[in-house]
Structure 1
Amino acid sequence: MSKRILVIDDEYPLRRVIQLALKMTVGWEVLTAGSGEEAIQKAETERLDAIILDVTIPEMDGSATLAHLRANKFTQYIPIILLTAKVQVIEQKYFANLGVAAAIVKPFDPATLANQIAKALNWDISTTVDSKIED
């Protein structure tokens, strides 16, 4: 079954790379948002399997967006993976304390992104990958 992912990042080219990588490698549907406000609105109205959230988006940053998503009864249980350039151990512990599933470090390899997401969320993508190869 195909997954629906919301990618929140203020950089359009990065959103597009993620969208294309996940669509082409495993066939997931990827919705995008360029701001925290737009993301919250989409997360409330769309059925989502996961959210990929950039930590450093302007205005409502990743931490504020995460807090809003966790406080909202419609979005509080959606697994969230942070997208960050910050890789220090103290920051990794901080992210873990936020209740996120994982943190993916930028820059990332688009070819392995679906595997990173699936591993973080305990999703089996082997059948998805097999069906994409047969297409």
Structure 2
Amino acid sequence: MWITPKLDWKSSDFYNFQDLNRVENNTEVIAELIRYFILLPSMLTITNRDMKRIEFADSLNRLESNQNILRQRYTPMGWLQNKLDWVSNNPFTFNDAQRLEHNLNLLYQHYKGNTELVPICGAFTCGEEAV
């Protein structure tokens, strides 16, 4: 289920494990929407972080790479370029938090609107129990 992203990050805001869980959850939601249209490569997402988990550069690179995978079919206008070269001791700022949530929100708005236009068809049988 889509979790409303925080789109108003300020330099005074604190980023925590719940924010990363939200970003990864929303990545999964968008991947499911995109799968209505194309087959995506598998992506690893982690949504069960807690206060005991520490993120490293490789995790941030994976998260940003997932967003690059999601935009392969369509890159929305206003997309903010992903940072794919995280290394140890690179500072994570409110601008990075804003980019991650902004890009996912752009994709969600596009695909949510388009999947609602996809006709769903099927069949069901109704009648008496005995055939």
**TM-score, with normalisation over the residues of structure 1?**
0.28
Q: Give the helix-richer structure, 1 or 2.
A: 1
**TM-score, with normalisation over the residues of structure 2?**
0.29
Greater relative contact order (Cα 8 A, min sep 6): structure 1 or 2?
A: 2
Q: Give the strand-richer structure, 1 or 2.
A: 1
